Chain A
Amino acid sequence: MTFDQNAFLIILTGSLISISCGILGVFMMLRKMSMTGDAISHAVLPGIVIGYFVSGSQRSLEVIIGAGLLGILATLMIEGLRKKAKVQLDASIGITFTLLFAIGIILINLFAYKVDLDQECVLYGEIAYLPIDLWITKSGLNLGPRITWLAGLNFFFVIGFIYLLFKELTLTSFDESFSSVLGIPAKGINLALMSMVSYTTVSSFESVGAILVVALLVVPPATAFLWTKTLMNLLKLTSVLGIFIAIFGYYLAFWLDSSIAGMMVTVAGIFFFGSALIKGKFAKWFKGTTPPKASFDV
């Protein structure tokens, strides 16, 4: 098999995105905030549209700032509804993301004549067009696909963020009260994590779509969680899974002529359900060992 540059670039980009998402997703999962991640990935949409409208380009700083602000707004709105209005958590997540996403869709339709964004692109993205969208400098130097650079930059930021704040993130995820006793600003750390998630969502939405980012945020960490017991192993396995998902997803999509991002999620889903079957409590019964009978306690 000859070396296919396009395939390599797509797989590389896919791996970068799924590793960045996965690592952030691990911390989201440990904080029981997976659904908040889902909410954020929906809620950044109006920010993207407004940023696009203001700057007139999909690849501008305004888009990233707009989406980042909306991500933080979504986090604050969920918190606000829960604390100030005393709405239960699941409902405040549901209300927040549906409202913000609806506003995003309305804005897309309002600006449809001006903005070259359509609903499908926002939803699924298309990583397959990546090799065409090149970053060419003014002097005409071809630096390769733009999205790969974007994903690389994002990967770099995420790794840096996790490396610098590893201790704080771990502590606030496992024992928030203890961390606040130590003087770590748990709320600030939380907001920083949410901003990273929004930023990752924006820089990935062009390639995998706003909704499929959620899958990469949630599914690899959940799969790895079934196999590991320590945080380091969880992070490592999540990253390895991210790479496998990108490789299998690409080739399956290539083979079936379908959406690469969708296929990556499908592969992730297969890994997940396979792991759940092998590691679930059902498996113990299947292997023939019975759990000790629970004592009758009153």
Chain B
Amino acid sequence: MEDFIYFFTFQDPSITWVVLGIILLGIGSAYVGTFSFLDKKALLGDAISHAILPGICVGFILAGEKNPIYIVSGAFFSGALATFLSTWLKQHTKLSEDTIIATILSVFFGIGIVMMTTLQKSGNPEIAGLNTFIFGNAIGISETDLKIYGGLSLIIILILTLLLKEFRLMVFDPSFGKAIGFPMAGIRFLFNVLMILAVVVGIQAIGVVLMAALLITPGAAARFWTDRLYPLLLLAAFFSVISGILGTYVSFVLPQMPTGPWVVVFLSLIALISFTFSPKSGILFRALARKNYLKKTHIDHLLKGLYKAEEEEKKTLTIDEIYDLYPYQIQEIKKSIKHLAKLNYIKVNQANIVLSEKGKIEAMRIVRLHRLWELYLNESMNIAPDHVHESAEQMEHLLTPELEAMLEKRLNYPTLDPHQETIPRTRHDL
């Protein structure tokens, strides 16, 4: 608890610096990552982050120490080379995109590891710092590092904000952008540059191997809460900052822990919560909606069956007769009967089931929708009467009162459907 208060009251200026850095890095990579997620190029970020390793080593060799400027430029150039190669390979060979990405990722990482083992055998004491790039160590960020990485993040955030419209076009409709005169190739190039920069900056905190999470996960999680771009970006940035700070806190409390894995765990936790519980698109919500829909279809079918029996001058149906109408659905029918009896739509008299007044109105509505749709398909779509039933079976559960009114108007309040059955409107039609 003392650690907690010490960390979150920012008494220590170095903690303030680190948290500030994490916030900037998180926002930068979440913004870029959300765009690449929407562009369906999320794994390119993974390839770039692995491909950066040789560049870091070259930068280290040239500088002879862990100089951030050399390392950032080395990393940038090898990231750029990887991006360029993946585009080139895609245009000039028959390989599929995921093969290309996996190839580039593993070859560059292999070369990076060769360089790193060679460097380790060279016995330079500074080399120990290089390992932090593989799993990230946010606590180890010095003030000079922070100025460079934070500054780069600020530039990324600024450019993305200023050119939001252009990047939006690139992600959602590049051909339209081209048609109205935007230089789409240039915009894509700039975006690739920003993506590489974001990766270069992010690895300081999260490491080469797990960088993909910082790019992909915030956007993917935020996508479950909103359909609009601005809230999406803000939410992704928020998720990424929260996990960044929590991850840094854990590696502050447990010093031997690298930051990267904890940031990823917190991010994934947020993502899994979003996938499960988000309204509209979460797993739970969709399962519930599906269940309700199925329940409604079963109830509608039962009402329809009872109504048809009344049309044939049969006042009641026994439960066994209903079972024969819809075989294989005995459980569902039992549930529907219970539910309808509760709503007072039907009266259950021992094994006999009768529609109540209220039930008749509802049953009429469903039959009316079914027959209206059949007539609409037959008259307006020129579909033969013996082919319209299947579609009407589905649409009867979906048609809204507004659509019903439109159909009625368009078909001029018909009385008979294509099978010469009455389209019921009032009690009298029965």
* A-B complex is real: yes
| CB-contact partner of A218 in B46, B103, B262, under 8 A | B103
Cβ contacts under 8 Å, B135 to chain A = 105, 119
A226 to B93, CA, bound (A): 7
Residues of chain B within 8 A of A66, CB atoms compared: none
Q: How far is the CA of A2 from the CA of B131 in the complex (A)?
A: 38
Q: Is the CB of A101 within 8 A of B210?
A: yes
| B387 within 8 A of partner (CB) | no
A262 within 8 A of B: yes
Contacting residues, chain A, for B93 (C-beta < 8 A) = 226, 276, 279-281
Contacts of B117 in A (CB 8 A): 124, 258-259, 262
Contact status A93-B43, CB under 8 Å: yes
Nearest residue (CB) in B for A84 is B283
Contact across chains for A281 and B113 when beta carbons are under 8 A apart: no
**In the assembly, what is the distance between CA of A279 and CA of B131, in Å?**
38
Interface string of B259-291 (1 = CB under 8 A from A): 011101100100100011000011100000000
Chain A residue contacts of B409, Cβ below 8 A: none
Q: Which B residues are in CB contact (< 8 Å) with A90?
A: 40-43, 216
Say yes or no: A95 contacts B220, CB within 8 Å.
yes
Let me know if A215 and B95 touch, CB within 8 A: no
Q: Are A265 and B106 in contact (CB under 8 A)?
A: yes
Task: Verify A91–B106 contact, CB threshold 8 A.
Answer: no
Known contacts A99-B264, A105-B261, A112-B256; A269/B92 CB under 8 A: no
Q: Are A212 and B103 in contact (CB under 8 A)?
A: no
* A155-B188 Cα distance, complex, nearest whole Å: 44
Chain B residue contacts of A141, Cβ below 8 A: none
CB of B114 within 8 A of CB of A258, answer yes
Given contacts A93-B43, A106-B262, contact A98 B217 (CB under 8 A): yes
Q: Which chain B residues in 186-216 approach chain A with CB under 8 Å?
A: 209-210, 212-213, 215-216
A94:B43 contact, CB within 8 angstroms: yes
Closest Cβ–Cβ distance, residue A191 to chain B (whole Å): 19
- Docked-complex contact A109 and B256, CB < 8 angstroms: yes
Contacts of B77 in A (CB 8 A): none
Q: Tell yes or no: A69 within 8 A of B by CB.
A: no
Q: Is B353 an interface residue (CB 8 A)?
A: no
Measured as residues with beta carbon below 8 angstroms from the partner, the interface class of chain B is 35 or more
Contacts of A93 in B (CB 8 A): 43
Closest Cβ of chain A to B198, distance in Å, is 15
B101 touches A (CB below 8 Å)? yes
B118 at the interface (CB under 8 A from A): yes
Residue of A87, A112, A209, A218 touching B220 (CB-CB under 8 A)? A87
Which residues of chain A are within 8 angstroms of B258 by Cβ–Cβ distance?
105, 109
How many Å lie between the Cα of A219 and that of B89 in the bound state? 13
- B405 close to A (CB within 8 Å): no
**CB neighbours of A266 from chain B (8 A):** 107, 110-111, 114
Chain A, Cβ-Cβ closest to B42? A90
Known: A102-B265, A281-B93. A94 touches B111 (CB 8 A): no
Specify which of B91, B109, B118 is in contact with A215 (CB 8 Å cutoff): B109
B96 touches A105 (CB 8 A): no
The reply to whether A99 and B268 form a contact with Cβ atoms under 8 Å apart is: yes
Do B91 and A281 have beta carbons less than 8 Å apart? yes
Residue of A nearest to B109 (CB): A211
The CA-CA distance from A10 to B40 in the complex, in Å, is 41
Contacts of B134 in A (CB 8 A): 119, 123
| Residue-wise interface mask of B (213-246) relative to A, using a CB-CB cutoff of 8 A (1 in contact, 0 not) | 1011101100000000000000000000000000
The yes or no answer to A147 lying at the interface (CB within 8 A) is no
> Which chain A residues (260-298) contact chain B, with CB distance < 8 Å?
261-266, 268-269, 272-273, 276, 279-282
The distance from the CB of A186 to the nearest CB of chain B, in whole angstroms, is: 19
B121 proximal to A (CB < 8 A): yes
Interface flags for B36-71 (1: CB within 8 Å of A; 0: not) read 010011110010001000000000000000000000
Q: Which of A26-34, A164-172, A174-182 contacts B (4 or more CB under 8 A)?
A: A26-34
Contacts A106-B265, A225-B94 given: A269-B217 contact, CB under 8 Å? no
Please measure, in the bound complex, the distance between the C-alpha atom of A18 and the C-alpha atom of B118, giving whole angstroms: 23
Q: Write out the residue numbers on chain A whose beta carbons fall within 8 Å of the beta carbon of B22.
A: none
- A269:B111 contact, CB within 8 angstroms: yes
Contacts of A7 in B (CB 8 A): none
- Assess the B106–A215 pair: CB atoms within 8 A: yes
Assess the B275–A85 pair: CB atoms within 8 A: yes
Nearest B residue to A269 via CB reads B107
CB distance from A221 to the nearest CB of B (A): 8
Question: What distance in Å separates the Cβ of B350 from its nearest Cβ neighbour in chain A?
Answer: 44
Give B96's nearest chain A residue, CB to CB.
Answer: A32
Does A35 count as interface, using CB distance less than 8 angstroms? yes
Complexed CA–CA distance, A273 and B86 (Å): 11
Contact yes or no, A102 B262, CB < 8 A: yes
Instruction: Determine the residue in chain A with the shortest Cβ distance to B110.
Output: A265
**Can you list 21 A-B contacts with CB-CB less than 8 angstroms, sorted by A residue number?**
A34-B102, A35-B102, A88-B37, A88-B220, A94-B42, A94-B212, A101-B264, A109-B258, A109-B261, A120-B131, A123-B134, A211-B109, A212-B110, A225-B99, A253-B114, A261-B113, A263-B114, A264-B110, A265-B110, A273-B107, A280-B92
Known: A106-B257, A262-B114, A266-B111. 18 other contacts (CB 8 A): A34-B96, A37-B102, A87-B220, A90-B42, A90-B43, A91-B219, A95-B216, A102-B265, A105-B135, A109-B257, A123-B113, A214-B106, A215-B110, A222-B95, A222-B103, A258-B121, A259-B116, A276-B92
**Cβ-closest 5 pairs across A and B:** A265-B110, A269-B107, A215-B106, A98-B213, A102-B261
